[in-house]
């Protein structure tokens, strides 16, 4: 049920992003308008994300997921109604996007934290990779759905289909049979105190701050996915069909990257896996900016999606593996906050830069900056490059202090530890 509800929620978000992005670009022809939409989302997501992380560690995570998806059902349905009567306007898109930016991220930490309740630790790496892979399958299908529903003169049918997905994503969480509350749930404290406790935990963690800074530093200068309408126009002189093809290629690459992660179970240096994937991602951004032929651009976007998925999936798994259940909601919220803040700033930065210097130059700059960020994190945050994941045998007694920094690695002796020898 968690699996299907995640797919429905992802389809809702992806279709909404495609529909609103293309609607705005066709109505205005301006990259600045799309960039402004990113800033609106960013401003609403930051407080909502922190609040949602605290909620996920206090209340029933299943109910929280359901309630937040109801907002998507109602507001996207409103857009379908307005578009059907030719009354949808730019400010409507902005207002509805602002509200959905808040409600959608409220349920995000709960969804991430619930994964570790559904599967045992020994299967968590595969579970996160499986979730990512199936999400990518959903994002491969949604551009095709959007293309078929957008063949009409307006986007009424597209918004209606999105509404159906939103309804599904609101109902399915309630069908999950396990207890939705966190173990040792955070109760008895104020909501603000719980938020601050979560921030303090993340700040003191030896690995997570480096991973989050890496994500922010790279994404701000390279966020290309929501701006495919601009790249379709400037690089390939295409329209809706070209945008759908690029979106599909990115999702196909994401699926490949998720599958790659499943085969890296024996690769202990999970932090280095993130760094290597991000390094190749930066190189591919430069190549993407140099493409002018659609099929070559699609190939590059497939590899971009793959490297991005390897880094994203590994980061998510490390968060789950190194955080206790009663803190997972807030740690996941911090991860989402870093990613979503970077997405909003990145959408604005790439949109403005595309208007100023062109899409190709924007990707060149983003690639170079991304490579520099990777080397800075490798150099300055040693916890990321030293992190080792060693699977603990079933029934082994391991102290929490040995459970993450880095797992199976002795800082003083600079050697790996066999966790089976610990009592």
DSSP string, 255-271: HHHHHHHHTTTT---HH
Cα distances (Å, whole numbers) of residue 9 to 142, 244, 400: 12, 19, 34
Q: What are the phi and psi torsion angles at 121 (to 5°)?
A: -55, -35
Among the listed ranges 116-120, 169-173, 238-242, 341-345, which one has the minimum average pLDDT value?
341-345
Helix, strand, coil percentages in the chain from 3-state DSSP, rounded to 5: 80, 0, 20
> Which pLDDT score, from 0 to 100, does residue 419 have?
43
pLDDT, average across residues 166-189: 80
pLDDT, average across residues 183-199: 76
CB atoms within 10 A of CB 274: 28
User: Rounded CA gap, 333 and 319, in Å?
Assistant: 10
For 415, the enclosing helix (H) or strand (E) is strand 415-416
- Name the nearest CA neighbour of 332 among 108, 157, 145: 108
Among the listed ranges 26-30, 130-134, 407-411, which one has the minimum average pLDDT value?
407-411
> Which pLDDT score, from 0 to 100, does residue 287 have?
92
| pLDDT tier for residue 184 given thresholds of 50, 70 and 90 | low
Q: Which residue has the higher pLDDT, 390 or 368?
A: 368
The residues near 209 (Cβ < 8 Å, ≥ 6 apart) are: 202, 203, 381
Rg (CA), the chain: 21
Is the model's pLDDT at 58 over the cut of 80? yes
Beta bridge partners of 410: 415
Evaluate whether 15 touches 142 at the Cβ level (below 8 Å): yes
Q: Give me 378's structure tokens.
A: 């490798």
pLDDT, average across residues 192-209: 87
> Which pLDDT score, from 0 to 100, does residue 396 have?
46
User: Rounded CA gap, 79 and 100, in Å?
Assistant: 12
Q: What is the mean pLDDT of the chain?
A: 82
- Residue position matching structure tokens 């529909």: 19
Max Cα-Cα span within the chain: 70
281 three-class SS? helix
Answer yes or no: pTM beyond 0.75. no
Q: Give me 313's structure tokens.
A: 């999936």
Half-sphere exposure of 146 (CA within 13 A, CB side): 30
Is the model's pLDDT at 403 over the cut of 50? no
| pLDDT tier for residue 394 given thresholds of 50, 70 and 90 | very low
- Name the nearest CA neighbour of 57 among 236, 246, 185: 185
Is the model's pLDDT at 21 over the cut of 80? yes
> Which pLDDT score, from 0 to 100, does residue 22 have?
85
> Which pLDDT score, from 0 to 100, does residue 2 have?
85
49 three-class SS? helix
pLDDT tens for each residue of 293-316? 888 989 999 999 999 989 988 888
pLDDT, average across residues 76-94: 92
| pLDDT tier for residue 398 given thresholds of 50, 70 and 90 | very low
Among the listed ranges 224-233, 307-316, 387-396, which one has the minimum average pLDDT value?
387-396
Is the model's pLDDT at 357 over the cut of 50? yes
Whole-number percent of the chain with pLDDT over 70: 90
- Name the nearest CA neighbour of 312 among 225, 197, 204, 182: 225
Chain centroid offset of residue 347 CA: 14
Is the model's pLDDT at 373 over the cut of 70? yes
User: Rounded CA gap, 128 and 115, in Å?
Assistant: 8
187 three-class SS? coil
pLDDT, average across residues 407-417: 44
User: Rounded CA gap, 233 and 221, in Å?
Assistant: 20
> Which pLDDT score, from 0 to 100, does residue 408 have?
45
> Which pLDDT score, from 0 to 100, does residue 399 have?
45
pLDDT tens for each residue of 237-273? 887 788 888 888 888 898 888 888 888 777 888 889 9
| pLDDT tier for residue 392 given thresholds of 50, 70 and 90 | low
Domain chopping of the chain, boundaries? 2-173+191-415
Pick the CATH number of 2-173+191-415 from 3.40.720.10, 1.10.1660.10, 1.20.1250.20, 1.10.1200.10: 1.20.1250.20
Whole-number percent of the chain with pLDDT over 90: 20
User: Rounded CA gap, 404 and 261, in Å?
Assistant: 20
- Name the nearest CA neighbour of 417 among 26, 405, 329: 405
Among the listed ranges 87-101, 255-269, 270-284, which one has the minimum average pLDDT value?
255-269
For 317, the enclosing helix (H) or strand (E) is helix 294-321
Cα distances (Å, whole numbers) of residue 252 to 21, 218, 240: 21, 21, 18
Is the model's pLDDT at 42 over the cut of 80? no
Is the model's pLDDT at 420 over the cut of 80? no
DSSP, residue by residue, 327-351? HHHHHHHHHHHHHHHHHHHHHHHHH
| pLDDT tier for residue 402 given thresholds of 50, 70 and 90 | very low
């Amino acid at each position: 049920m968690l699996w299907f509800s995640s797919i429905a929620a992802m389809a809702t978000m992806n279709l909404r992003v495609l529909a609103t992005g293309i609607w705005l670009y066709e109505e205005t022809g301006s990259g600045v308008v799309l960039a402004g939409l990113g800033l609106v989302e960013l401003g609403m997501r930051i407080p909502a994300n922190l609040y949602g992380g605290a909620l996920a560690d206090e209340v029933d995570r299943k109910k929280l997921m359901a309630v937040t998806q109801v907002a998507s059902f109602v507001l996207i349905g409103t857009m379908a109604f307005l578009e059907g009567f030719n009354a949808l306007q730019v400010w409507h898109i902005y207002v509805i996007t602002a509200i959905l930016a808040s409600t959608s991220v409220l349920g995000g930490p709960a969804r991430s934290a619930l994964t570790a309740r559904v599967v045992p630790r020994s299967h968590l790496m595969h579970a996160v990779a499986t979730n990512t892979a199936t999400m990518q399958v959903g994002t491969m299908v949604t551009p095709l759905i959007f293309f078929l529903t957008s063949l009409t003169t307006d986007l009424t049918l597209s918004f209606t289909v999105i509404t159906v997905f939103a309804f599904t994503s609101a109902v399915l969480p309630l069908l999950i049979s396990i207890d939705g509350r966190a173990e040792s749930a955070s109760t008895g404290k104020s909501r603000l105190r719980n938020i601050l406790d979560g921030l303090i935990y993340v700040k003191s963690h030896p690995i997570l701050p480096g991973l989050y800074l890496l994500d922010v530093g790279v994404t701000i200068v390279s966020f290309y996915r929501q701006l495919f309408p601009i790249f379709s126009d400037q690089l390939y002189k295409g329209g809706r069909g070209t945008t759908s093809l690029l979106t599909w290629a990115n999702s196909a690459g994401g699926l490949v990257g998720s599958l790659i992660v499943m085969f890296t179970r024996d690769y202990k240096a999970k932090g280095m896996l993130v760094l290597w994937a991000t390094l190749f991602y930066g190189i591919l951004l430069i190549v993407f900016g140099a493409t002018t032929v659609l099929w070559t651009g699609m190939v590059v976007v497939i590899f971009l999606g793959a490297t991005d998925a390897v880094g994203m999936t590994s980061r998510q798994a490390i968060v789950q593996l190194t955080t206790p259940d009663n803190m997972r909601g807030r740690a996941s919220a911090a991860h989402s906050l870093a990613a979503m803040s970077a997405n909003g700033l990145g959408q604005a930065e790439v949109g403005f830069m595309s208007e100023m210097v062109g899409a190709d130059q924007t990707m060149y700059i983003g690639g170079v900056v991304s490579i520099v960020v990777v080397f800075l994190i490798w150099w300055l945050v040693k916890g990321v490059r030293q992190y080792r994941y060693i699977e603990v045998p079933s029934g082994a007694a391991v102290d929490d202090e040995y459970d993450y920094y880095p797992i199976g690695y002795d800082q003083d002796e600079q050697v790996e530890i066999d966790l089976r020898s610990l009592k």
